[in-house]
Chain A
């Protein structure tokens, strides 16, 4: 039924004059609890479903990091309460190696895929695309609903893998075979790995259903007057994100399918010349373990940008609105997003400099990898210029957007170290890498997400989140993130390898035990503050300060022309027509000019 609303919305874009007032009302009356909150086809509800599922995953993934940080900070100490919650995985209050590796692996998988891909893109692409381009819903609300439910299914399977006898998968989130292919090499690679693959396959399906929808919606369902160059940067970013996902996730899935064949079909895609202690020589011959790494990183690298681009888009939008200035260099921003999208496909082997890759091939990937720094630099300078001579309102969203830029600079610059194969030989798989990617795609993407949540919360729930808690959340998280990850660069420069649960037996790495304690303590504090954010979020849904005006941030974009609590179909009347770009702030002495306002006769011509 709501499909119809979307289709009508579409025809309205084309012919523009039919009014569907009555229709929409009709739908609302028929909605039951199930169709409104569970199997909803309303993009706004699906966005909230993604967001809340993502938040639950983020809490679980974050808690996992707290648990393994306890082990890293206090390797010689026992915590009896750990045995209470983890049972045989923490006998005597000490986390066992298999549990440590399971926690690390799940932390990575959950946060990279289920939170920062599903939770971030799923939320904001669903929520913002129809609202900001002026559409009643997605191109296919049904597929959109399925996208969420595949995500949910994948989540359930992934969660269930935590409870199997042999434990969840524990070979690292990249799941390199042969370790991930052979149950005899690691208990986590038994049933846990099968569930991991199934969950990831469902996740890929979800991401494809969503991505196809986002692309077709952006291309086909823009309201009258909304040319591509009038789109807000959020939409451009989400659009390129979806393109990246559509082109790279199938490759990942194919890699997983081959892995599944190797596990259960007796094939040797990734396996060759293997002798497992206690089992003997395996029959597999002729496969290449490196093949998997190519397939994995062909997604794995674009995945970084799948996580980062939405955050960039959100930050651009929020920075501009709260600076009361147009985003500087709109076209350069779009072109740099495009350049990043293209280059994202051409750099994957920089994760493989030390696999025995042909050095000449390596050099090509060095060049292409460092090229990505150019569009990234353009974006940073454009954000800085956006702040120059602005009139900044430090709303919680704005704070997080500024924090995003700071973290993106810090983490991006260390990418120049790692993308350079010469330095990568030394720094590969050390704590330098942990520091780099946690800052640049972990924390900064989270900052983009927080900026988005604080900024669009009033649109989602018709209420504001509490500002004081938001400020505390921001400052502690920003300071905490730097305190946690900045010193890790030094551990990396000491060559300290990642994925070790105890460094005390290593003469070369044991000098950091005090630092590890410090990092763990800060991590616990920062995690507690995130719980406060979650509390603020849910509390504000029901008890937050009510939004009383249509456009609380005085923004130009279309979502603020909808009612405070828009129903399915978004605009009760006709979809508004668009006459200008999204960034007319402080132009001709006016604070802002909404996109719906026609260009005046004596308006200065800047864009």
Chain B
């Protein structure tokens, strides 16, 4: 314990002691003054504080908004069409709830002040009034119907099917990072199987690159049947990257969301979107980016601006650092970027001959596939270690 620590603790203890002494003394004073008089005085003080709290509170709400509004996303346009809809919905809701908030808080604290105890007055016996109660049942019900109506209109628009010309990208969460996959020239994602995942052999998604027999094991490590995996040629040109997810401004994007281990969540703050990544159950989400990363740097006035992907579902001790990047670029930049990418297969099994033209996707021959297919992958009984 440092000296400052002791110092702070002493101050705290003294504060307690003083408060306690004052509190105790005020109790004796009230006995001397007479309970009734003391009660009337403290009642007045508390009633007055009710109004003070109301006024300062409402000013505080304004002040808080003044200080913080520019730091929120509301200060800049949403980066997707869906996001703009969500912002509209947000403003409708803020308007309605804001009115209710201000009226009810004013009534609450104003009544508290106005109807404070007075020995000259007695309370008004007013047990119920059916008309009033019907009014404040139906008015909120109608208001909420309006909110539900707007909400569902946008909800179905956002969760509806993605347009046909969407760029489809697969994003997979793992502890603690993101894997992005693009289909190659064939525009089809190759099959994958989680038992084929092999980080050491550059197969972080478990793509079925070769014919394999996988021996399954139960929890105790005993063999429990086997699966025959057929190589899927569609996997050969799939591009896998961990760096950033590139997409084209103005072109709809459909994300196919997976998780390799626990539940994650693809949080796209600037697009106002979010979708869980659930192991074993792929989910999807689509949107149309409106501004390139460079445009967004200008809009926000922040030269370091990036579209960040945040993991929004508690996923373990590295949750807070599970960051991904989205680069929204123009069509030309995207084509250029994609041309530079090597298919994951080519990365995992580099061709022996050094002749490959840079940029051209390396097409594996049927021969190579057969040669490697001889391997039988043995899945280590992982469960004993995993569960304890």
Contact = CB atoms under 8 A, between A and B. Distances in A.
Interface stretch (B307-315, B336-344, B349-357, B363-371): B307-315
Contacts, number: 414
Given A387-B115, A426-B90, A532-B19, A171 B316 contact: yes
A305 B60 CA distance: 30
A494 B144 contact: no
A542 interface: no
Please classify how large the interface on chain B is, using the bins under 10, 10 to 19, 20 to 34, 35 or more.
35 or more
A591 B319 CA distance: 59
B122 A589 contact: yes
Please classify how large the interface on chain A is, using the bins under 10, 10 to 19, 20 to 34, 35 or more.
35 or more
A513 to B, nearest CB: 11
Contacts of B57: 482
A277 B132 CA distance: 62
A334 B175 CA distance: 49
B388 A275 contact: no
Given A289-B280, A359-B159, A420-B148, A183 B388 contact: yes
Contacts of A266: 218-220, 383
Interface stretch (B66-74, B229-237, B241-249, B327-335): B66-74
Contact of B194 (A275, A374, A508, A509): A275
Contact of A391 (B73, B121, B140, B314): B121
Contacts of B123: 323-325, 389-391, 585-586
Contact of A275 (B74, B151, B260): B260
A326 B74 CA distance: 45
A461 to B, nearest CB: 16
Interface in B39-57: 39, 42-43, 46-47, 49-50, 53, 57
B168 interface: no
A162 interface: no
Given A373-B144, A374-B140, A468-B26, A507 B304 contact: yes
Contacts of B140: 373-374, 377-378
User: Max chain B CB contacts within 10 Å: which of A98, A413, A588?
Assistant: A413
B272 A392 contact: no
B128 A466 contact: no
Nearest to B282: A356
B197 A281 contact: yes
Contact of B46 (A276, A283, A378, A471): A471
Interface in A165-183: 170-172, 176-179, 181-183
A216 interface: no
15 contacts: A97-B317, A172-B314, A184-B385, A185-B261, A186-B317, A274-B280, A276-B382, A328-B127, A378-B136, A385-B132, A390-B123, A402-B108, A405-B108, A421-B155, A506-B323
The 9 tightest CB contacts between A and B, nearest first, are: A272-B280, A495-B269, A356-B283, A266-B219, A500-B320, A359-B159, A389-B124, A280-B382, A394-B46
Interface of A: 80-81, 84, 97-98, 101, 170-172, 176-179, 181-187, 190, 263-264, 266, 271-277, 279-290, 323-326, 328-332, 354-356, 359, 362-363, 366-367, 370-371, 373-374, 377-378, 380-385, 387-394, 399, 402, 405-406, 409-410, 413-414, 416-417, 420-423, 425-426, 428-430, 466-469, 471-472, 475, 478-479, 482, 486-487, 490, 493-495, 497, 499-503, 505-509, 511-512, 515, 528, 531-532, 535-536, 545, 583, 585-589, 591, 606-607
Given A324-B122, A420-B151, A493-B74, 5 more contacts: A277-B261, A356-B281, A381-B133, A384-B108, A532-B19
